[in-house]
């Protein structure tokens, strides 16, 4: 390779790196490692060190030393050494980008290529998110689409772009046309960040932009921003409500409503009563006047209730355990607990048999007919299902990726697969109704009956106007469906008569029918108040992870268990009710405490603190510079966002994100160097 070829090769690889930072980790790493290798070859050939000092050499060396000691002491040295290499090989990203730019012009080119490439990805993300907005999929998924990464990773990657553009829009000195373009790109990036629907990225972006405003002491923007945030917290309220509709003059009219103290997850008609699973407030009986009675509290929030028989109910709780409770008209009492081996994904009841599908542990069948639960069947390799239903001697199970399967039951347990249709992937409702099956697919809802001998379905009834339904309830006479758009349809027991409908200004999450009355629940959780909501599913899970991480640290206080995937330790230390086994703890600081112990935690905080101070120094040194100052300011803000996002994510261990962190840090250090070349030093 000719000496002038080094620069050409380097430019090609750097451009590849920049174009793929937000869309292809494979190509991105080819660009990075290729550039690193070219620089090392150049070093060997020219005998000139191309790498610039960053001032961070001591914390980097200490961090890698702790990683290495932890690897030596780990019971899982293979995994620990692999991650030690990963951390060590990615740190030089900062040195590559602190060293490659030779002038401000080079830095401008790097920033422009990155911004344009990342903006194209964010625009593509918005396009793919349109379906989520139009179909209100955010309500059910609580997440944006996955395109190039998981939505939570996308949200953090996009937050870097948002913060950088924010700094340039406010404090960069540029032509009006370029400023307008920067504003447009900022709005696109912000819209894509919002479309990920991930609080981690939102909070990180807010923290990054906030630190920029406070750094500039820009009170004319800080005060309105704080007022806006306060207004959002005040106005974006939780809604938790139960309503009752009764027929008046042939139409349903709302006759009662009340606020609930918890959050109304599900309704159940059971033996003449309507029961409400009000999540953290437990179980209630609801009257036609929307009043509550017979509150039964549980140690974990109740997700849903099902009737076993006239004197027993089954409660499924958020921590994945089941309770069987006895009931009278006045009270409830715990009879016994049922715990499946894995993370429960779906369940169904048939007589006294409970069928539980675990996401990671197959199918379990429990007999609830005696004074305790007896597991009568377990198959870890049973095909995964998102929906279960038992009708007669048939078990129906459906998954959107594989279709519908039917197993014949012998003695209540699966014996033989007798039917499989891989084309039935768009099923949104699957429930049993006596010997029949109610199924909603391809925009139609029908009552079907399966002929075991002919292996075919016969249509018993088409529910006119039901369309694609996602919820079903019945009191034994009338049948109720909730369409995916939120419309409620009630069918009387009169053959194929047209339904009566209830059109609501919101999408109900559950409903029940009792004679001429329809009970409806509305639940809306504020995205702002969710931050402090201990019962939100993701918050609840994170709190339990952090408790588990602390227990791991207590057993390995000095150097932790090694930089490994934590499954074996997590399984041993978690609460018995937590079924999902985690490999990381969704918090940088708790995770480092577990994997590297107290010594590693101190070094980790020292390293992050010095990186922040180094970026702050670059921003302070470049104050007043047209281009380099907003660049350094944006990098400082982005790093702050990374630190804050790390309170709820293990983003330091995410390959894409830590690559972005070291890339941004390198740009800020390079900015200071090209502005004050005489002060630059070599390693």
Summarize the confidence of residues 21-50 as an average pLDDT: 92
The yes-or-no verdict on residue 426 having pLDDT over 50 is yes
* 605 neighbors 643 (Cβ within 8 angstroms): no
Parallel/antiparallel/unpaired status of strands 332-338 and 344-350:
unpaired
Contact assessment for residue 406 and residue 396, using Cβ atoms and an 8 Å cutoff: yes
Per-residue burial over 627-644, b = 16 or more CB atoms within 10 Å of its CB, e = otherwise: bbbbbbbbbbbbbbbbbb
Q: How far apart are CA 322 and CA 626, in angstroms?
A: 63
Contacts of 344 (CB under 8 A, 6+ apart): 316, 320, 356, 357, 358, 359, 579
In whole angstroms, give the CA distance from residue 128 to residue 553.
Answer: 42
Tokens 């033989």 correspond to what residue? Answer: 416
Q: Taking CA 77 as the corner, what is the angle to CA 73 and CA 78, rounded to the nearest 5 degrees?
A: 170
* 3-class state of residue 175 by DSSP: coil
- Tell me the three state secondary structure of residue 72: helix
Q: How far apart are CA 453 and CA 418, in angstroms?
A: 10
Torsion, CA 132, CA 138, CA 143, CA 144, rounded to 10? 20
Lowest-pLDDT choice from 39-43, 387-391, 615-619, 667-671:
39-43
How many other C-beta atoms are found inside a 10 Å radius of the C-beta of residue 79?
19
The pLDDT score that the predictor gives to residue 88 is 97
DSSP readout, 430-478?
A: EEEETTEEEEEETTEEEEEEEETTTTEEEEEEE-TT--SEEEEEE-SS-
The pLDDT assigned to 578 comes to: 73
pLDDT at 494 over 70: no
Q: How confident is the model at residue 492 (pLDDT cuts 50, 70, 90)?
A: confident
Compute the average pLDDT of residues 227-238: 76
Q: How far apart are CA 203 and CA 647, in angstroms?
A: 10
**If you search the block for the tokens 């529910």, which residue do you land on?**
463
The Cα 195–Cα 183 span in angstroms is: 18
pLDDT, tens digit, 9 for 90 and up, residues 524-533 = 776 666 676 7
Please check the confidence at residue 682 and state whether its pLDDT lies above 50: no
Confidence band of 667 (pLDDT split at 50, 70, 90): very high
Share of the chain above pLDDT 90, in %: 66
Distance CA 497, CA 360 (A): 43
Give the mean model confidence (pLDDT) for residues 409-422: 95
Q: How far is CA 188 from the centre of its chain?
A: 22
Confidence of residue 249 (pLDDT cuts 50, 70, 90): confident
Identify the pLDDT of residue 377: 97
Q: Is residue 543 predicted with pLDDT exceeding 90?
A: no
Per the model's pLDDT, the better-predicted residue between 202 and 249 turns out to be 202
Total residues belonging to the chain: 683
3-state class (DSSP) for residue 133: helix
Q: Which range is least confidently modeled, 134-143, 197-206, 289-298, 435-444?
A: 134-143
**How much is the mean pLDDT over the chain?**
90
Q: What average pLDDT score do residues 623-651 get?
A: 95
Give 283-336 pLDDT, tens digit per residue. 888 888 888 888 898 888 888 999 999 889 999 988 889 999 998 777 899 999
Of 33-47, 409-423, 650-664, the range with the lowest mean pLDDT is 33-47
Neighbours of 412 (CB within 10 A): 17
Q: What percent of the chain has pLDDT over 70?
A: 96
Burial of 393 (0-12, 13-18, 19+ CB in 10 A): middle
Residue 495 has a pLDDT of: 56
What's the pLDDT band for 1 if we cut at 50, 70, 90? very low
Query: Would strands 413-421 and 403-410 be described as parallel, antiparallel, or unpaired?
Result: antiparallel
In DSSP notation, 519-561 reads EEEEEE--TTGGGG-TTSHHHHHHHHHHHHHHHHHHHSTTTTT
Q: Quick one: how far is CA 231 from the chain centroid? A: 26
Averaged pLDDT for residues 621-640: 95
Helices (H), 197-264: 199-216, 219-235
Q: Which helix (H) or strand (E) holds 193?
A: helix 176-196
Q: Return contacts of 476-481, CB within 8 angstroms, 24+ apart.
A: 477/515, 478/513, 478/515, 479/513, 480/511, 480/512, 480/513, 480/518, 481/429, 481/440, 481/445
Predicted pLDDT at 496? 62
């Amino acid at each position: 390779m000719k000496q002038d070829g080094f620069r050409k090769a380097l430019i090609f690889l750097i451009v590849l790196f920049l174009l793929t930072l937000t869309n292809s980790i494979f190509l991105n790493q080819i660009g990075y490692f290729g550039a690193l290798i070219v620089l090392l070859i150049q070093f060997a050939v020219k005998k000139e060190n191309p790498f610039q000092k960053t001032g961070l050499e001591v914390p980097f060396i200490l961090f890698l030393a702790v990683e290495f000691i932890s690897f030596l002491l780990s019971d899982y040295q293979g995994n620990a050494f692999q991650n030690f290499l990963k951390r060590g090989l990615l740190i030089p990203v900062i040195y590559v980008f602190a060293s490659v730019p030779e002038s401000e012009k080079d830095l401008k080119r790097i920033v422009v290529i990155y911004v344009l490439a990342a903006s194209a990805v964010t625009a593509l993300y918005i396009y793919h998110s349109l379906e989520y907005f139009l179909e209100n999929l955010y309500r059910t998924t609580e997440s944006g689409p996955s395109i190039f990464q998981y939505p939570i990773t996308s949200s953090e990657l996009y937050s870097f772009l948002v913060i950088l553009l924010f700094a340039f829009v406010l404090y960069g000195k540029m032509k009006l046309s370029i400023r307008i373009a920067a504003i447009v790109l900022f709005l696109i990036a912000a819209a894509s960040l919002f479309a990920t629907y991930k609080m981690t990225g939102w909070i990180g972006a807010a923290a990054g932009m906030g630190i920029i405003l406070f750094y500039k002491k820009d009170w004319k923007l800080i005060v309105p921003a704080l007022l806006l945030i306060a207004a959002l917290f005040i106005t974006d309220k939780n809604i938790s409500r139960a309503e009752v509709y009764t027929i008046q003059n042939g139409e349903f009219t709302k006759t009662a409503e009340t606020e609930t103290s918890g959050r109304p997850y599900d309704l159940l008609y059971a033996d003449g009563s309507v029961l409400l699973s009000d999540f953290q407030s437990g179980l209630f009986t609801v009257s036609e006047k929307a009043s509550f009675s017979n509150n039964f509290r549980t140690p974990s929030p109740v997700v849903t209730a099902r009737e076993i028989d006239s004197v027993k109910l089954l409660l499924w709780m958020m921590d994945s355990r089941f309770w069987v409770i006895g009931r009278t008209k006045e009270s409830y009492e715990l009879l016994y607990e049922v715990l499946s081996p894995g993370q429960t994904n779906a369940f169904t009841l048939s007589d006294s048999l409970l069928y539980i599908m675990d996401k990671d542990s197959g199918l379990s069948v429990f007999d609830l007919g005696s004074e305790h639960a007896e597991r009568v069947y377990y198959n870890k390799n049973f095909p995964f299902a998102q929906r279960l239903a038992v009708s007669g001697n048939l078990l129906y199970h459906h998954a959107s990726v594989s279709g519908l399967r039917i197993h014949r039951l012998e003695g209540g347990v699966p014996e033989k697969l007798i039917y499989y249709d891989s084309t039935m992937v768009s099923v949104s409702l699957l429930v049993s109704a006596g010997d029949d099956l109610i199924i909603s697919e391809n925009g139609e809802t029908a009552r079907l009956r399966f002929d075991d001998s002919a292996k075919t379905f016969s249509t018993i009834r088409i529910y006119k106007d039901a369309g694609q339904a996602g919820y079903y309830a019945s009191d034994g006479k009338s049948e109720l469906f909730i369409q995916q758009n939120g419309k409620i349809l009630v069918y009387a027991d009169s053959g194929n008569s047209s339904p009566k409908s209830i059109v609501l200004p919101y999408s109900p999450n559950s409903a029940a029918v009792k004679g001429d009355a329809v009970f409806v629940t509305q639940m809306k959780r504020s995205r702002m108040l969710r931050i402090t909501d201990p019962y939100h599913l993701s918050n609840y899970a994170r709190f339990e992870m952090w408790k588990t991480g602390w227990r791991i640290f207590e057993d390995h206080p000095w150097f932790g268990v090694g930089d490994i995937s934590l499954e074996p330790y997590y399984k041993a230390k978690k609460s018995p009710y937590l079924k999902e086994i985690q490999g990381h703890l969704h918090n940088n600081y708790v995770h480092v405490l577990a994997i590297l112990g107290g010594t590693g935690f101190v070094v980790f905080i020292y390293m992050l603190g010095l990186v922040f101070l180094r970026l702050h120094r670059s921003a302070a040194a470049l104050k007043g510079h047209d281009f380099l100052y907003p660049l350094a300011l944006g990098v400082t803000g982005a790093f702050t966002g990374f630190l804050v996002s790390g309170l709820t994510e293990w983003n330091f261990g995410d390959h894409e994100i830590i690559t972005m962190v070291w890339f941004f840090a390198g740009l800020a250090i390079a900015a200071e160097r090209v502005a004050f070349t005489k002060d630059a030093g070599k390693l």
